[in-house]
Structure 1
Amino acid sequence: MADIAEYVTDKISSNDVSLNNYVTTDSLLQNKRGRECAQNLPPMPCALMHFQPKDILIANIRPYLKKIWFADIEGGCSSDVLVFRAKEGHFPNFLYATLMQDAFYDYVMKGVKGSKMPRGDKEQIMRYKMPTFSSDEEQNIGKIVVDIEKKLQLSRAINDNLPMLGHSSEGAKGRHAA
């Protein structure tokens, strides 16, 4: 992985982030479902990892939960979130597509440290063998996976709202029947 990606080490002050652009392991959703808005900001001013759009954020605590997000905004994250950035000449979408695979999480779990709250080994993670493709293939694979992921997120959002729609339409049916 070190050939096509690097860890982001840029910092941003917690004073410069809001709940909307602050990411923690808790705000990243399990099973590769992206993220939700953080519940709270750090209690004291501190330095956070500074992520940019198209960076890939992965929770490093309990990697088996498969918490990953392809950033679409700029912000800051806690130190328990790893931030990956595609190197020059490589495509962020492809990096994201590769890190979405179960094989990546299986690999990370082989090198975890700790048992109660296992953490991925950052050095071992960077040794992950990435598939090799031409630049055009990387771009196409990444685009396809990101497009599919966007459609899945839209479908999940619709499904999450179905219960509310069901209750209101049930109430309407009941009123018409009376």
Structure 2
Amino acid sequence: MKTEIATKYKETEIGTIPEEWISLELYKFAELVKDAYLPSADEELSYIGLEHINQQALSLNSVGKSSDVTSNKFRFKDGDILFGKLRPYFRKVYRPKFSGICSTDIWVARSKTGFDQDWLFWLFASEDFIKSASGGSSGTRMPRADWDHLKDTAWPVPKLSEQKQIAEVLSSLDDKIELNRKINKNLEILANSLFKKWFIDIGDELPKGWRMGTFGEAIINFDSKRIPLSSREREKKQGCYPYYGATSIMDYVDDFIFDGTYVLLGEDGSVAKEDGTPFVQYVQGKIWVNNHAHVLQGKNGFSTEYIKVFLDQVDIMPFVTGAVQPKINQANMNSIPMIIPDKKTLDKFNEILTAFFGMILENESQTKNLEQVRDSLLPRLMSGKIRVN
């Protein structure tokens, strides 16, 4: 499949579009689905809230369960478009490959007969659509996209065959991005399995030269350099640097306070998963971190990657304080028991981890490049400035 620059255009009320395209109001080719879900113990469903959808990336960071839901939600089906209407400029857009329920702050959208659902997803993910949704939002502190405003906006619409071709080009890039994410997840699983074999499933007696120590012996803590920003402050600092919270990227800002490779350990609020292990993020590059995640690196021969796989195995619950607001304070974190192996073993395992995480970072770099290509092509394909044969 190849692309070429369109040569025949026409002027319309929405600007210049290809001659064979039409200008069409959103409500004529898209609709919202409001299939209400009432909390029930009779069925177990996947749950997607705004917190589960990554900003800008068109992906999920996790999935919740209907058993944790206490208020009414919307049902969605495999292939539906989920669009976060709260602060739409966050571009929380996702197309699930499974059925479930979602927050009522998420629109469930479908294409009407005669229009391609995949193409509609890419329209919802486009910069122009995000800007239009943000421009017509209501509310000052918590702006929400307004469907009554958006449904009457007009958009350039190609023939069905070209809709499918556009979606195929963009989805092929998205498929590669998703493959990279799956590869990285499998690499992390393998690294954790090796850690378990080397340092957990070793019997009751430690090998010669090994001893019991504490987590504090193996880390450098950078918490004092963290700076929290309110949502209003972040709105004034929109940029390209990830702003991390306890479990994931919360926003993108115009500056950074850390530059390097770090492990982020959820400090308060969301501190533990269902299996009792902590929320751990392995991050690299120029970033900003708020005060809800400990910022760590390894020391005394322990690589930062070692810290990551160690924390992935830890039952963190005995070190959590607070019933209403769970917290892992520095003292409790530092006191986590940790096996200190001999230098030779530690160096060998660090060498293995370097190879694993080298591949992970290489895949992440390729993913970012693919995202940039995808997001660069997206507005050109959706406007007809680039055509698909």
Q: Which residue does 1:171 correspond to in 2?
A: 351
**Residue 93 of structure 1 aligns with which residue?**
118
Cα 1:7–1:144 change in 2 (3 A) is same
Residue 111 of structure 1 aligns to which amino acid in structure 2? G
CA contact (8 A) 1:26 1:38 kept: no
Distance 1:128 1:152, change over 3 A: farther
CA distance in 2, matches of 1:5, 1:52: 16
Note the residue ranges of structure 2 that are not aligned, 5 or more in a row. Answer: 1-25, 192-302, 307-348, 355-389
The aligned counterpart of 2:53 is 28
Does the C-alpha gap of structure 1 residues 133 and 162 become closer, same or farther in structure 2, counting only changes over 3 Å? Answer: same
Match of 2:271 in 1: none
Return 115-124 or 8-17, whichever deviates more. Answer: 8-17
Instruction: Give CA deviations for 1:134-178 in whole Å, capped at 9, x if unaligned.
Output: 11111111122222112122234446777886948743499xxxx
Cα distance between partner residues in 1 of 2:69 and 2:353: 49
SS at 1:33 equivalent: coil
Deviation at 1:77, TM superposition (A): 0.9
Counterpart AA for 1:140: Q
Q: Which amino acid aligns with 1:49?
A: F
Structure 1 stretches of at least 4 aligned residues deviating more than 6 Å after TM superposition:
160-166
- C-alpha separation in 2, matches of 1:78 and 1:72: 17
**TM-score, length-normalised on structure 2?**
0.40
2:342 matched residue in structure 1: none
The answer to whether structure 1 residue 133 and structure 2 residue 158 are counterparts is yes
| CA deviation string 1:68-111 (max 9, x = no partner) | 00121111111100110111121110001111111111111111
Any idea what the Cα deviations from partners look like across 1:37-89, whole Å, max 9, x if unmatched? 33564543x43211111110011111111000012111111110011011112
Q: Which residue of 1 aligns with 2:129?
A: 104
Closer/same/farther in 2, CA of residues 171 and 132 from structure 1, 3 Å limit: same
Read off the aligned partner of 2:117 and give its amino acid letter: P
Task: From the two aligned structures, give the one with the greater strand fraction.
Answer: 2
Call closer, same or farther: CA 1:157–1:3 in 2, change over 3 Å.
Answer: same
Conserved? CA contact 2:82–2:93, under 8 Å: yes
**Greater RCO structure (CA 8 Å; 6+ sep):** 1
Distance 1:170 1:102 in 2: 42
| Higher radius of gyration, 1 or 2 | 2
CA contact (8 A) 1:62 1:117 kept: yes
Runs (5+) with no aligned partner, structure 1: none
Contact 1:17 1:76 in 2 (8 A): no
Say which of 158, 174, 183 aligns to 1:149.
Answer: 174
Matched, 1:121 2:146: yes
Between the aligned partners of 1:98 and 1:122, the Cα distance in structure 2 is 15
Deviation of 1:132 (Å): 1.4
| Distance in 2, Cα, partners of 1:17 & 1:125 | 34
**Counterparts of 1:77 and 1:17, CA distance in 2:** 13
Distance between the aligned counterparts of 1:104 and 1:128, measured in 2? 10
CA distance in 2, matches of 1:13, 1:69: 23
Q: Distance in 2 between matches of 1:94 and 1:104?
A: 13
Which residue number in structure 2 is paired with residue 48 of structure 1? Answer: 73
Give distance in 1, aligned partners of 2:80 and 2:88. Answer: 18
**Aligned residue type for 2:110:** R
Q: Are the equivalent residues in 1 in contact too, given 2:39–2:69 (CA < 8 A)?
A: no
1:39–1:50 Cα change, 3 Å: closer
Matched, 1:79 2:259: no
Aligned CA RMSD, in angstroms, stands at 2.7
Letter in 1 for 2:109: F
In the aligned structure 2, how far is the partner of 1:17 from the partner of 1:11? 16
AA of the residue aligned to 1:125: L
Q: Say how many residue pairs are matched.
A: 171
Distance 2:76 2:64 in 1: 19
Alpha carbons 2:47, 2:64 under 8 Å: kept: no
Q: Partner of 2:74: helix, strand, or coil? A: strand
1:58 is aligned to 83
